[in-house]
Amino acid sequence: MKLSTPNASYAFSFSVTVAGDPNIRFCSSIFGSTRTLPFADRVLLARQPVWPPQRYSVLAGFVEVGESLEACVRREIEEEVGVLVDRVRYLGSQPWPFPRSLMLGFSAVADPSVPLRPADGEIEEARWVHRDTVRAALESETGAVEGLLLPPGVSIAYRMLRGWAQHERPPLG
């Protein structure tokens, strides 16, 4: 049976998903923002060494074959900054400019009293940022305030931060 190019692409993507080929990452990245109880007044942000000065974003990682999305969020946040999270919740998705990739957004709850341990070579710095600081950056024309430059407005990370900053008391399900 001969498939048209679009149908062949769909069939290939489906077979990768079902077969779980370890050489192809069919779900590229997971973004997770962490929030604290009781009213989530701080968010955990981090920066990579290759980013522009003061650029911070939510944490990101890759799904391993056979790993649930929730397990990925927990593992990546612990690996990248040494923090355990729970109450992982799906927020949304966005296509990513690499072939066959998708960004998925999640929130999670963490204890801000746990010392942050940024992963060497991967995370230059991580810190808890207050909601008011994120709001001020969102309201500025540049998306920046002293010490904090937000991710670009087209990114799911930006939309996650905007959504979090606009709610005084996000649902805690």
For domain 24-165, the CATH architecture is Alpha-Beta Complex (3.90)
**pTM of structure:** 0.75
Q: Where are the domains of the chain?
A: 24-165
User: pLDDT tier at 149 (50, 70, 90 boundaries)?
Assistant: very high
Which residue, among 97, 54, 37, 114, has the nearest Cα to 45 in the 3D structure?
54
* pLDDT exceeds cutoff 50 at 169: no
Q: Is the dihedral of CA 146, 151, 153, 157 positive or negative?
A: negative
- Provide the pLDDT confidence category of residue 118 given band limits of 50, 70 and 90: very high
Phi and psi angles of residue 145, each rounded to the nearest 5 degrees, phi first: -135, 170
What's the mean pLDDT in 73-100?
89
Distance from chain centroid for Cα 76: 10
Percentage helix, strand, coil for the chain under 3-state DSSP, each rounded to 5: 25, 30, 45
Residue 97: per-residue pLDDT: 76
- Of 75, 46, 77, the C-alpha closest to 157 is 46
**Tens-place pLDDT, residues 18-39:** 333 344 333 334 444 444 444 4
Average pLDDT, stretch 65-71?
92
Q: Check whether 123 has a pLDDT greater than 50.
A: yes
Q: Which two tokens stand for residue 160?
A: 């996650």
Confidence check: pLDDT of 55 > 60: yes
What average pLDDT does the structure give for the chain? 78
Residues 47 and 64 sit within 8 Å (Cβ to Cβ): no
Q: How far is CA 138 from CA 28, 76, 89, 105, in A?
A: 27, 26, 23, 19
CA R_g for the chain = 17
pLDDT at 101: 82
45 or 100, which is more confident: 45
| For the chain, percent of residues with pLDDT exceeding 70 | 73
Is the pLDDT at 170 greater than 80? The verdict is no
* Single-letter code of the amino acid located at 42: R
